[in-house]
Amino acid sequence: MPDNALEFFQAALAEMEERRKAVQLGGGLERQKKQREQGKQTARERIEVLLDEGSFVETSVFVEHLDTNLMAGVEAPGEGVVTGFGTVNGRKICVFSQDFTVLGGSLGKMNAAKIAKVMDLAVKVGCPIVGLNDSAGARIQEGVDSLSGYGEIFYRNAIYSGVVPQISAILGPCAGGAVYSPALTDFIVMARGSSYMFITGPEVIKSVTREDVSFEALGGADVHSSKSGVCHLEGENDRDVLEKIKLLLGFLPSNAKETAPLRTSRDTKNRKTPQILEIVHPDQRKPYPMLEVIHTIVDDAEFLEIQPDFAKNMICGFAHLGGQSVGIVANNPRFMAGVLNIDASDKAARFIRTCDCYNVPIVTLVDVTGFLPGVAQEHQGIIRHGAKMLYAYAEASVPKITLITRKSYGGAYLAMNSRDMGADVVLAYPNAAVAVMGAEGAANIIYRREIQKSENQAATRAEKIAEYKAAFDNPYVAASRGYIDDVIHPEDTRIHLIAHLEMLHGKREERPFKKHDNIPL
C-alpha cells in the first residue's frame, strides 16, 4: 500500500460525499422552501413517503447534462430527477421523481436517460414503475434533444404497457407533450389544487380561441377527474396521492406473468349478505345504491373506486373477495339509471383491459336497460365507443363472473359480459329480468296493431305488457337456455362469488395467433 493511500481515500471519500450532498440538495434550500410553501413536497420527500422506510436505493446518482448549446455552464444538480428503486409494503418497485427545484424539473436528454434507465430496470426485473411528475416540460435550453428525451420515454411507456404496471402521480405542472407520458401509463393520480395537465396553457388558448380560463379550470385535478376522464384517482395533497398509489399497487401483480396478489382477511368466506335484500329495490324503475351492494359483498367492505367522479353511471374499482384481488364493473342505477353511454363505455373498457393485462379477475354486476338513445350520442360515436366494451370483455381471458342484480336488456346485456361474450359464469337474483327490452317497449312494438285495433287500447296494452313480462321478465328463460348458470339468493352472493373465483383460479384461455389486436378506438 503506498504511503499516502489513506490520505488519497479520505480525499476521494470527501469528494464523493460533497458531490452526493450537492446532488441531494437539488435546486437548493430556497427553492425547496418555495416548493413547500405551495403545499408541495420535494422530490426526495415524496420518495420517502411512497417507499418503505429506508428501502430507497438511488440510481444514476451523478448523471449530468451534456453541457451543450444553451446549457453550457448551467448548474443542474441531479439533472432534475431522482431515480431508483425500493419496496412498497415489502414489494419491489422502481421510481422516478422529478425535481421542480432544478430548472423546473424540465426534461432534457440526460434527465430522460435517467428515467429511461430505471424504466428498463423495472421491466428487466418485472416490477411496477411509479413516476412522480412535477415538471415544466421540455427543457427549452436543450431544444430538440429534450424532445428526443420525451420520445425515449413515450416509446418505453407504450412498449412496456401491459408488461409491468405503470402509475403516474401528477404533483405539479404537467404541460405540453409532457402529459403524454402519464397518459400512456395505466393510472394517473393527481393532487387536488397543486397539479394540472394540459396540452396548451391558458395563455396560448387565449391567443388562439380567445377563451379565458385559469390553470385550475383548464386542467386541474377536479376537471380531469369529473370531465375529461384523464385522471383515475384524486388526492388531497402529495401525501394522499402517494398513499393512494400504495393502495393501488396492493391490487396489482408486479408484472403480467404473475397472478394478482392474495390478501388475508378476517372477513369469512361464508359470510351471508342479507343486507342486499334491503338495498336492491324490487321496482325495476327505482334507483338504489350499487356501491352499497359492492361494499356488502367484498372483503372488509373495502373498495377502491377508480374514476369515481367520471361517468358515474358506471362503477369500476378494485376489491378483494376471499382474499383474491378482483376488478369490479357495475352499472349504477343511481345515475342516469345506469345506462351505457360513451363515457361509461370508455371507462369500463379501459378498466376491463387493465384488469386483463394484469391478471385481475373481473366481477360484473349488471342492472342496465341499454345504451343511451339520442342524436348527440349517435353522432359522437356511441357505436364506436360501445364497441370497446364488447371488445374488451370478449378479449379478456381472466376469470369473468357476471351477476345480474335486476335487469339486463338488449345490447347492454351483451356489453355487460353475457355468457356468449365469454363470461365463465353468470348468476342472477330471482327478481332479475333478461330480455331484448323492457316489457312496455316490447309490447308496444310487437302488439302495436292489436293494441291499435282494440276498443279498449289501454286495457289491451296492459294485458300485452303483462304477457311479455310473464314470458321474459324473469331469469328462468335465460337460465333454461344455459345463459344463466344459477339463480341465487341475494344473501348468498358473497359465498357464490368466492366459490366461483376459487374454482376459476389459474384459468388459462388461449386465443388464436395475432400480431396484436385492433380494438375500435
177 is catalytic: yes
Give the nearer residue to ligand HXC in terms of CB position, either 157 or 377. 157
Q: Which DSSP symbol is given to 102? A: T
404 binds ligand HXC, rule: CB under 6 A? no
Q: Among residues 201, 411, 422, 441, which one is catalytic?
A: 411
The one segment of 174-182, 304-312, 350-358, 501-509 that binds ligand HXC by CB under 6 A: 174-182
Task: Tell me the one-letter amino acid at 492.
Answer: D
* Member of 77, 173, 182, 361 binding ligand HXC (CB under 6 A): 173
Give the nearer residue to ligand HXC in terms of CB position, either 81 or 421. 81
In 3D, which of 144, 110, 114 has the Cα closest to residue 131? Answer: 114
Q: Among residues 126, 143, 162, 177, which one is catalytic?
A: 177
> What's the closest the beta carbon of residue 31 comes to ligand HXC, in angstroms?
6
Q: State which of positions 447-506 bind ligand HXC (CB under 6 A).
A: none
The Cα-based distances of 63 to 43, 84, 347 in angstroms read: 16, 13, 40
224-233 b/e with 16+ CB inside 10 Å = b?
bbbeebbbbb
Q: State which of positions 48-107 bind ligand HXC (CB under 6 A).
A: 103-104, 106
Cα atoms in the Cβ-side hemisphere of radius 13 Å centred on 252: 32
User: How far apart (Å, rounded) are the C-alpha atoms in residues 345 and 415?
Assistant: 9
Give the nearer residue to ligand HXC in terms of CB position, either 112 or 315. 112
> What's the closest the beta carbon of residue 69 comes to ligand HXC, in angstroms?
12
Q: State which of positions 124-163 bind ligand HXC (CB under 6 A).
A: 136-141, 147, 150
> What's the closest the beta carbon of residue 179 comes to ligand HXC, in angstroms?
9
Give the nearer residue to ligand HXC in terms of CB position, either 31 or 246. 31
Q: Is 193 exposed, middle or buried (0-12, 13-18, 19+ CB in 10 A)?
A: middle
Give the nearer residue to ligand HXC in terms of CB position, either 27 or 327. 27
Task: Cell numbers for 163, please give them.
Answer: 408488461
Furthest C-alpha separation in the chain? 118
* Member of 178, 360, 451, 498 binding ligand HXC (CB under 6 A): 178
Q: Among residues 412, 433, 435, 443, which one is catalytic?
A: 412
> What's the closest the beta carbon of residue 65 comes to ligand HXC, in angstroms?
11
Question: DSSP of 473-521, one letter per residue?
Answer: SSSHHHHHTTSSSEE--GGGHHHHHHHHHHHHTT--------SS-----
Question: DSSP of 115-150, one letter per residue?
Answer: HHHHHHHHHHHT--EEEEEEE-SB-GGGTHHHHHHH
Q: How many CB atoms lie within 10 A of CB 82?
A: 28
Task: Tell me the one-letter amino acid at 341.
Answer: N
Binding to ligand HXC by CB under 6 A, coded x per residue (else -) over 311-340, reads ------------------------------
* Member of 50, 175, 306, 415 binding ligand HXC (CB under 6 A): 175
> What's the closest the beta carbon of residue 28 comes to ligand HXC, in angstroms?
9
Do 436 and 407 contact (CB within 8 A), yes or no? Answer: no
Residue nearest to ligand HXC (CB): 177
> What's the closest the beta carbon of residue 346 comes to ligand HXC, in angstroms?
24
Give the nearer residue to ligand HXC in terms of CB position, either 180 or 476. 180
- Residue 28: alpha-carbon gap to chain centroid: 36
Give the nearer residue to ligand HXC in terms of CB position, either 104 or 128. 104
Residues with Cβ within 8 Å of 505's Cβ and at least 6 positions away in sequence, in order, are 259, 324, 399
Residues with Cβ within 8 Å of 264's Cβ and at least 6 positions away in sequence, in order, are 323
Q: Which residues, listed in sequence order, are joined to residue 130 by a DSSP beta bridge?
A: 95, 167
The Cα-based distances of 26 to 22, 61, 82, 277, 313 in angstroms read: 7, 12, 9, 59, 45
Q: What are phi and psi of 364, to 5 degrees?
A: -115, 125
76 is catalytic: no
Give the nearer residue to ligand HXC in terms of CB position, either 104 or 490. 104
Do 367 and 331 contact (CB within 8 A), yes or no? Answer: yes
> What's the closest the beta carbon of residue 150 comes to ligand HXC, in angstroms?
4
User: How far apart (Å, rounded) are the C-alpha atoms in residues 328 and 316?
Assistant: 6
327 is catalytic: no
Give the nearer residue to ligand HXC in terms of CB position, either 147 or 504. 147
> What's the closest the beta carbon of residue 230 comes to ligand HXC, in angstroms?
17
Q: State which of positions 344-373 bind ligand HXC (CB under 6 A).
A: none
Q: State which of positions 244-263 bind ligand HXC (CB under 6 A).
A: none
Q: Among residues 176, 322, 386, 438, which one is catalytic?
A: 176
User: How far apart (Å, rounded) are the C-alpha atoms in residues 49 and 40?
Assistant: 13
Give the nearer residue to ligand HXC in terms of CB position, either 140 or 159. 140
User: How far apart (Å, rounded) are the C-alpha atoms in residues 391 and 229?
Assistant: 20
> What's the closest the beta carbon of residue 27 comes to ligand HXC, in angstroms?
6
User: How far apart (Å, rounded) are the C-alpha atoms in residues 305 and 332?
Assistant: 13
Total residues interacting with ligand HXC, rule: CB under 6 A: 17
Q: What are phi and psi of 10, to 5 degrees?
A: -60, -40
Q: Are strands 314-321 and 303-306 parallel, antiparallel or unpaired?
A: antiparallel
Task: Cell numbers for 332, please give them.
Answer: 349504477
Binding to ligand HXC by CB under 6 A, coded x per residue (else -) over 193-232, reads ----------------------------------------
> What's the closest the beta carbon of residue 216 comes to ligand HXC, in angstroms?
12
411 is catalytic: yes
User: Which residues here bind ligand HXC, judged by CB under 6 A?
Assistant: 31, 103-104, 106, 136-141, 147, 150, 173, 175-178
Active-site positions? 176-177, 411-412
